[in-house]
Structure 1
Amino acid sequence: MVHRLTWFEPQRGEDQLREFFITALIDMGASLILQDRDGTYVCITTLPPRWKLKPGTPPTDDSVFGKEIGERLAEMKAGLSRPGDRAELEIEAGDDTFFEFRCRLVEMDDHDLHLITVVIDRTEDRRRERLLRALLREVSHRSKNLLAIIQSIASQTARYSGTLQMFLGKFRGRLHALSQSQDLITDSSWRGAYFRDLLKQQVERYVQENAELVQVSGDDVLLTPNASLHIGLALHELVVNAVSHGDFLQRRLPIEVSCRRHELPDGPVVAITWKEPFAGQDDTKDVKASRFGSTVLERVVPSSVNGQAWHELKNGLVRYELTFPLETFD
């Protein structure tokens, strides 16, 4: 027997109640089917438009849902023998649509057994599940890439650090730069980051009170997530080197940074240029070892974006150029 609290105002007519229930079922994306124990249809409501019954045809599982689905429903219902027995079946009905059939054998007040089947449209649920799985795979893929980048940075930093303290200082700075770039990527829903935002992050951290000494020009290019992480890392190295080894702050001479997009026959490329005034010696071996010994700038970043880098100190100017193909977005 089915015992559930049900109450309705006696003055309400059956037509009004019927309209209420049908509207509620439509909003829920659900349909109801009532059959007697022999499978004869007693009632069917709010069936999805994809299933129709030809005029004059008695409703059966086969005539309503087609032979294939009808056979599966008949097999499911045949397994119900006692009041309270229930079974569920999910069916892909074509056109990327999914429906769940919930069938239950119930005993009415007159002790007759009836089959109640609830049909629920699960199409949107399955689409959300697929999207979620795709997003989780993407997060996993990007996480592995990020871990690989961190491992590479740790290895290169350790190779060129004389002491543990030196390693920790450099590694923490580079790790923080990656974290900042990742924040921009996440805020953009994984589309990437704009060049000027990446530069602004590093300037605000290391030369906040003299931000006007870092002047930027050119195009504010939207970079892919991979390029964003590595370009952000390169900008971190350049800013830290300028503050640690340069004299632009003392001389109050601006650093000029440009980012320009160029259309070439093989596709668009990005050219990033860093020009920093420097009063020290030209590119001798000793100066290069202390000032330009960054594998990150000369090898890690260009190889990671399939580009080329030039790094030199000449005629009182630190010049770094990075050119790489721009991956475009759909």
Structure 2
Amino acid sequence: MTWFEPQRGDEQLREFFITALIDMGASLTLQDKDGTYVCITSLPARWRLAAGATPSDDTIFGPEIGQKLAELKSGLQNAGDRAELEIEAGDDTFFEFRCRMVEMADHDLHLITVVIDRTEDRRRERLLRALLREVSHRSKNLLAIIQSIASQTARYSGTLDMFLGKFRGRLHALSQSQDLITDSSWRGAYFRDLLKQQVDRYVQENADLVQVVGDDVLLTPNASLHIGLALHELVVNAVSHGDFLQRRQPIEVSCRKLETPAGPVVVIVWSEPFTARENEETKAARFGSTVLERVVPSSVNGEAHHELTNGQVRYELRFPLEIFD
């Protein structure tokens, strides 16, 4: 429906329509059936008509765009005919031209062209496509990590119940780390947040027995997932096989960023007091973790040392710190 008060003046209506077109990022041109310009409203400043020049597609938009518009408009002959064209106007700007042949009140045919700035739309589309590609890439990586965890857990689990218990715990640790990564808009996660997740889950009432020092390094998404997994493994091992809770002796965890000639590296050290036993089965259960010794180091291009000596469990992980773009 179209309606307006008859008593409103043409000047007021003209001001209203032009303001509305500007707000919409749209412009409007009107040509008669012979192609002569009758009206031009709010064209972007990039298109100007030289003083004394007669308006035409070439003189307004330039010969390249003018030729494309002429070809588009030549196919519009009858009332109701319409066509659309999107043009890259340079400087990474895009404009959509919507042409339509209409019959006016005097039965004369006129060509209306609406010009819409699509630059922001195209930028958002490119960004969305890039984000979707990134999500797809990260999802594949996550699935690969889960597959690796399942395979390694199955290899070293004697029973189905043992497999399910270990796999669920590792999967939950992975999901917690993923939450931190998502909350940071995919920048990664801080080391202390990753440690706190595992401490809060397994030793919440004795959190003071896990003491952390050093740098709170921001890790990349890939490193965050694997370091979170390593911390889960260490905490679970300490609770399941260790005696730090009974002895009330704290576990010391350090994370330090070091500058080397080859670039920055991160060194994480887990030092846990432990009463050594002669029970080889207990020792094997504690140190048989392929996750700590192989999966995590290889996934962050680093190296790890895991040993029980002098009444202490010591795990050291060293890996290069990836630089964020």
Q: What is the TM-score of this pair, normalised by structure 2?
A: 0.98
Contact 1:192 1:225 in 2 (8 A): yes
CA distance in 1, matches of 2:233, 2:214: 21
CA shift, 1:287, in A, is 4.5
CA shift, 1:281, in A, is 2.9
Q: Name the residue aligned to 1:88.
A: 84
Q: Does 1:325 align with 2:305?
A: no
Q: Does 1:265 align with 2:236?
A: no
Contact 2:216 2:255 in 1 (8 A): yes
Contact 2:307 2:313 in 1 (8 A): yes
> Runs ≥4 in structure 1, deviation > 4 angstroms?
284-287
The structure 2 residue matched to 1:297, chosen from 287, 292, 296, is 292
Q: Name the residue aligned to 1:8.
A: 5
AA paired with 1:298? E
Contact 1:150 1:175 in 2 (8 A): yes
CA shift, 1:83, in A, is 0.8
Deviations 1:196-254, CA, capped at 9 Å, x for gaps: 00000000000111111101110000000000000000000000000000011111110
The structure 2 residue matched to 1:47, chosen from 10, 22, 43, is 43
Contact 1:234 1:296 in 2 (8 A): yes
CA shift, 1:17, in A, is 2.0
> Once structures 1 and 2 are overlaid, which stretch shifts more, 12-21 or 220-229?
12-21
* Secondary structure at the counterpart of residue 35 of structure 2: coil
After TM superposition, the structure 1 = structure 2 runs for residues 229-248 of structure 1, keeping only pairs within 5 Å, are 229-248=225-244
* Structure 2 unaligned regions, length at least 5: none
Contact 2:241 2:282 in 1 (8 A): no
AA paired with 2:314? R
* Secondary structure at the counterpart of residue 43 of structure 1: strand
CA distance in 1, matches of 2:15, 2:246: 81
CA distance in 2, matches of 1:230, 1:188: 17
Q: What is the TM-score of this pair, normalised by structure 1?
A: 0.96
AA paired with 1:323? R
Q: Name the residue aligned to 1:211.
A: 207
> Once structures 1 and 2 are overlaid, which stretch shifts more, 284-293 or 272-281?
284-293
AA paired with 2:4? W
Q: Does 1:250 align with 2:246?
A: yes
Contact 2:217 2:257 in 1 (8 A): yes
CA shift, 1:113, in A, is 0.3
Contact 1:105 1:116 in 2 (8 A): yes
CA distance in 2, matches of 1:104, 1:115: 6
CA shift, 1:264, in A, is 1.0
CA distance in 1, matches of 2:183, 2:235: 24
* Secondary structure at the counterpart of residue 210 of structure 1: helix
CA shift, 1:187, in A, is 0.2
Identity %: 82
Q: Does 1:24 align with 2:29?
A: no
CA distance in 1, matches of 2:45, 2:99: 21
CA distance in 2, matches of 1:9, 1:322: 81
AA paired with 1:216? V
CA distance in 1, matches of 2:142, 2:262: 29
Deviations 1:80-100, CA, capped at 9 Å, x for gaps: 122111110000111100000
Deviations 1:23-55, CA, capped at 9 Å, x for gaps: 111111100000001100000010011111101
CA distance in 2, matches of 1:178, 1:123: 40
Q: Name the residue aligned to 2:115.
A: 119
* Secondary structure at the counterpart of residue 100 of structure 1: strand
* Structure 1 unaligned regions, length at least 5: none
Contact 1:275 1:317 in 2 (8 A): yes
CA distance in 2, matches of 1:9, 1:275: 86
The structure 2 residue matched to 1:99, chosen from 89, 95, 99, is 95
CA distance in 1, matches of 2:143, 2:6: 64
Q: Does 1:142 align with 2:138?
A: yes
CA shift, 1:149, in A, is 0.4
Contact 1:206 1:239 in 2 (8 A): yes
Contact 1:277 1:316 in 2 (8 A): yes
User: How many correspondences in the alignment?
Assistant: 325
